[in-house]
Chains A and B, each alone.
Chain A
Amino acid sequence: MASQVDMLFFTLLAMSVAVVVVIAGLIVYFGYKYRRRPENLVADQIQGSMRLEIAWSVIPLLIAMGIFVWGARLYFEMASPPAQARDVYVVAKQWMWEFQHQDGMREINALHVPLGEPVRLTMVSQDMIHSFFVPAFRVKQDVLPQRYTTAWFQATQPGTYHLFCAEYCGTLHSGMVGDVVVMAPQDFQTWSSQGDAETPAEAGEHLFAQFGCINCHKADNSGRGPALAGVFGRTVTFADGTTTVADENYIRESILNPDAHVVKGYEPIMPSFQGQLNEDQLLQLLAYIKSLGAKQP
């Protein structure tokens, strides 16, 4: 991705250098040639030229549209992580970054990732708006309170890279920095097997039982709420006939504000869990529900 972004950036750079050279060149050339001298005291009164006006409106417009399409395609690619990407859950708060890996490792202000494997970040803030920015990977995404945003990258060179908070978030904003450490896959394997922590999905499974979700959302669909296996990423239909794709933010809303959208065929009886779960736990529940999808045949 970095090289693709740079390709567009340097194309724009070449183009703008050309434009600046032409404009500055013309100003200097006309400016010298038509400077006021005794033999050039009177200017020629040129009103303008429709042909030129059209030319220098239409040509830049066409070029601009080309850049627009190019930039938009990159942006779409940035918004679509590969399906097999490795999950990292991110909680941002004043003024630190917390990461939890799909295989259980947790870290603060450092993010270890394997070389060459796409990494998908599911991020949420506990307070202000922050922004996850790794310049070397050309990735930046605001991290919002009460709402998940996602981003992804794939490291192509081992090394340690800057992680910055790019959205001003208060006093120590400039201290909200960290390192992204890119390791060879086998080194990463060793690193990530040091811990014996639960994976987020396992932790989520425990929460699912502990908070009693399991009493209604029964696996065999015999409960008062729908079974959740395979729900992630699926289109769900609501009582009022509207539909949505069950993404991270839909799952979040269903836990915290279940009455907002009630699935067709079910009663609005689920209580809200607002205030009972912290951001970590919500992400773990999300990871669990996503893992149910993966187990589907």
Chain B
Amino acid sequence: MSAITLPRQDTYLNINYGIRSWLLTTDHKRIAILYLVSITLMFVIGGAAATMMRIELFTPASDLVDAATYNKLFTMHGIVMIFFFLVPSIPAILGNFILPLMLGARDLAFPRINLLSWYIYMLGAGVTLWALIAGGVDTGWTFYTPYSTASPTHVVAATVGVFIAGFSSILTGLNFIVTTHKLRAPGMTWFRLPLFVWSLYATSLILVLATPVLAITLVLVAVERLFHVGIFDPALGGDPLLYQHLFWFYSHPAVYIMVLPAMGVVSEIIPTFAHKGLFGYKVVAISSIAIAVLGFLVWGHHMFVSGMSLHAALMFSAFSYLVAIPSAIKVFNWTSSLYKGSISYDTPMLYALGFIGLFTIGGLTGLYLAALGVNVHVTDTYFIVAHFHYIMVGGSVMGYFGGLHYWWPKMTGRMYPEKWGRAAAIIIFIGFNATFFPQFILGFEGMPRRYAAYPPEFQFLNMLSSLGAVLLGIGYILPALYLIPSLWFGKQAGPNPWDATGLEWKTSSPPPANNFEKIPVVTTGPYHYPGKQDKVG
């Protein structure tokens, strides 16, 4: 097989060459590719740590690695996956590439700040990786005090790395907000915005409002460690619950930073592959904002057994049920969007449907955790591990892979082999469930999380989970094996291979450096497909 050469056409990829042209680029599309490469690397590192953990947990005793190493592995897995993969993945890669195209803009509002965000991300990742390699951190990604004040491992370096990366998030969020306000093409009103834009906008609000709190909290931990000022450590007169409040004030909204963009991706994929507008467009758009706002009021549901007051627990439980409603609404609308559609099952659609199923299970199990009396039993067990992996891996990672396959032809100008794409999607779906479903049962039976060794009666389910992880790992490796070769051998995608409606499909693939020959004028809603107008209810 020889590489298929395309007729010469000016694209963002061939406008100039060389390492400098990439490292000094201000083109949002190239910056997205920089992020793609670096975030993928982080995903591999975080995944390697998870693999080690699952191998260790195959047997009850901590025999492959000792407890200290195991603790460092789950800490590394959590820090890398959350702060350096899940939070930035969809916004910084797909959002960066697609947002200006969807708006009909030539770039983000602040292209240089966009490049700066990437450098900050790299610096944060570098510092954190240094901490992890130099001996590791064993506090868990949550850095709970007083242990994080006392732990002899590289806590300060790791928190500094996460702190730095936070600024990358804040700048990206600001950039997206301003871009969405200022750079919409003529005729692109708010209710003509694609839902991916709505969800990125909601995500950006959280990034800008919540990340500073995390930054301050981590600074306080570092100050306490370095100067022995009592803030969180009761031995120094501090309050460890204050740390938990501050930490979750960021980290619960961070769940929505991770999942809202994936919801946005799904809201793009479903109309494209059902050839129809999304059911309840406005409701879905508004529910993104509702999630962003309500998400700030529920952080205490992580602390129901921490010794918080009964009244606080009541409030946080009630608000947690409220924030579930907009998510439920989205699920119902996505499902209804299939009604009377013309549905095809290309790879992105498989990921989107998988997302709906897994996110539904993740969301429903959230109702168990919000129920105070049940929370007491299942919190801090594998039930909660399973729950948030259904949201973050079943949800966010499925959304990310769906989006990556959906916009790959736009980003690269090439198609990947569809059969391999579908096979990988199905393997990931099965592998995911095999890995994480047994963990719900383990949790209900009482196996605590963050245990390097466990009683033998939990072994069977742990073995199932570890075997599932093998399948899941294969599923994650496959896309690398066909996506990378598709850069040379894939068939030409053309501007609009999926017959989709967004502005990003109105320009060539890959797009020219300035995105559009002529800025488009928008006259319709985002999912304007032919077909008879029908009303329900």
Chains A and B are bound partners: yes
Which A residues are within 8 Å of any B CB, using their own CB?
Answer: 4-5, 8-9, 12, 15-16, 19-20, 23-24, 26-27, 30-31, 34-36, 40-53, 56-57, 60-61, 64-65, 67-68, 70-79, 127-129, 131, 133, 135-136, 138-142, 144-147, 149, 162, 164-175, 177
A135:B446 contact, CB within 8 angstroms: yes
Given A27-B357, A53-B280, A72-B317, the answer on whether A172 and B371 have CB atoms closer than 8 Å is no
Q: Which residue of B lies closest to A1 (CB)?
A: B373
Q: How far is the CB of B205 from chain A (nearest CB, A)?
A: 22
Size category of the binding interface on chain B: 35 or more
Bound-state Cα–Cα, A149 to B140, Å: 24
The 16 listed contacts between A and B (C-beta, < 8 Å) are A8-B373, A20-B357, A27-B353, A31-B345, A36-B342, A42-B529, A74-B372, A74-B374, A131-B305, A133-B380, A133-B448, A138-B377, A167-B380, A170-B147, A171-B71, A174-B451
B314 CB within 8 Å of chain A = yes
Q: Which residue of B lies closest to A74 (CB)?
A: B373
Given A16-B364, A164-B448, the answer on whether A129 and B356 have CB atoms closer than 8 Å is no
Bound-state Cα–Cα, A31 to B322, Å: 30
B6 CB within 8 Å of chain A = no
B306:A142 contact, CB within 8 angstroms: yes
Q: How far is the CB of A15 from chain B (nearest CB, A)?
A: 8
B344 CB within 8 Å of chain A = yes
Cβ contacts under 8 Å, A4 to chain B: 373
B7 CB within 8 Å of chain A = no
B372:A46 contact, CB within 8 angstroms: no
**Closest CB pairs A-B (n = 5):** A135-B446, A74-B373, A71-B371, A75-B372, A49-B537
B444:A48 contact, CB within 8 angstroms: no
Stretch in B126-134, B255-263, B326-334 with 4+ CB within 8 Å of A = B326-334
A71:B374 contact, CB within 8 angstroms: yes
B305:A128 contact, CB within 8 angstroms: no
B450 CB within 8 Å of chain A = yes
Bound-state Cα–Cα, A145 to B360, Å: 38
Bound-state Cα–Cα, A117 to B274, Å: 61
Q: Which of A34, A57, A170 makes the CB contact (< 8 A) with B151? A: A170
Q: How far is the CB of A4 from chain B (nearest CB, A)?
A: 7
Q: How far is the CB of A54 from chain B (nearest CB, A)?
A: 10
Q: How far is the CB of A103 from chain B (nearest CB, A)?
A: 27
Q: Which of A70, A145, A177 makes the CB contact (< 8 A) with B371? A: A70
Cβ contacts under 8 Å, A147 to chain B: 234, 307
A31:B144 contact, CB within 8 angstroms: no
Cβ contacts under 8 Å, B62 to chain A: 174
Cβ contacts under 8 Å, A78 to chain B: 373, 376
Cβ contacts under 8 Å, B140 to chain A: 168
Q: How far is the CB of A22 from chain B (nearest CB, A)?
A: 9
Q: Which of B356, B377, B532 makes the CB contact (< 8 A) with A23? A: B356
B381 CB within 8 Å of chain A = yes
Instruction: Encode contact with A along B340-370: 1 for CB under 8 Å, 0 otherwise.
Output: 1111110000000100110011001101101
Instruction: Encode contact with A along B446-471: 1 for CB under 8 Å, 0 otherwise.
Output: 10111111110000000000000000
A172:B277 contact, CB within 8 angstroms: no
Identify which of residues 276-291 in chain B touch chain A, using a CB-to-CB cut-off of 8 Å: 276-277, 279-283
B276:A145 contact, CB within 8 angstroms: no
A68:B370 contact, CB within 8 angstroms: yes
Bound-state Cα–Cα, A40 to B341, Å: 8
B371:A67 contact, CB within 8 angstroms: yes
B279:A48 contact, CB within 8 angstroms: yes
Bound-state Cα–Cα, A173 to B140, Å: 12
Cβ contacts under 8 Å, A36 to chain B: 275, 342-344
B494 CB within 8 Å of chain A = no
B518 CB within 8 Å of chain A = no
B67 CB within 8 Å of chain A = yes
Bound-state Cα–Cα, A133 to B448, Å: 9
B336 CB within 8 Å of chain A = yes
Bound-state Cα–Cα, A237 to B382, Å: 45
Which B residues are within 8 Å of any A CB, using their own CB?
Answer: 62, 67-68, 71, 138-140, 144, 146-147, 150-151, 234-235, 240-241, 274-277, 279-283, 304-307, 310, 313-314, 317-318, 321-322, 324-325, 328-329, 331-333, 335-336, 338-345, 353, 356-357, 360-361, 364-365, 367-368, 370-377, 379-381, 444-446, 448-455, 529-537
Q: How far is the CB of B314 from chain A (nearest CB, A)?
A: 6
Q: Which residue of B lies closest to A52 (CB)?
A: B537
Cβ contacts under 8 Å, B361 to chain A: 16, 20
Cβ contacts under 8 Å, B373 to chain A: 4-5, 8, 70-75, 77-78
Q: Which residue of B lies closest to A49 (CB)?
A: B537
Given A53-B280, A67-B367, A175-B67, the answer on whether A129 and B339 have CB atoms closer than 8 Å is no
Cβ contacts under 8 Å, A145 to chain B: 146, 234-235, 240
B283:A142 contact, CB within 8 angstroms: no
Q: How far is the CB of B379 from chain A (nearest CB, A)?
A: 7
Cβ contacts under 8 Å, B455 to chain A: 162, 177
B452:A174 contact, CB within 8 angstroms: yes
A171:B374 contact, CB within 8 angstroms: no
B310:A46 contact, CB within 8 angstroms: no
Cβ contacts under 8 Å, B454 to chain A: 174
Cβ contacts under 8 Å, B328 to chain A: 56-57, 60
Q: Which of B314, B364, B370 makes the CB contact (< 8 A) with A19? A: B364
A141:B335 contact, CB within 8 angstroms: no
Q: How far is the CB of B429 from chain A (nearest CB, A)?
A: 12
A56:B536 contact, CB within 8 angstroms: no
Q: Which of A15, A20, A43, A172 makes the CB contact (< 8 A) with B274? A: A43
Bound-state Cα–Cα, A56 to B334, Å: 13
Given A12-B374, A31-B343, A52-B536, the answer on whether A61 and B325 have CB atoms closer than 8 Å is yes
Cβ contacts under 8 Å, A16 to chain B: 361, 364-365, 367
B307:A149 contact, CB within 8 angstroms: yes
Bound-state Cα–Cα, A35 to B342, Å: 6
Known contacts A68-B370, A146-B234; 11 additional CB pairs below 8 A are A12-B371, A30-B343, A40-B342, A43-B342, A44-B276, A52-B332, A128-B150, A131-B380, A144-B240, A145-B240, A175-B453
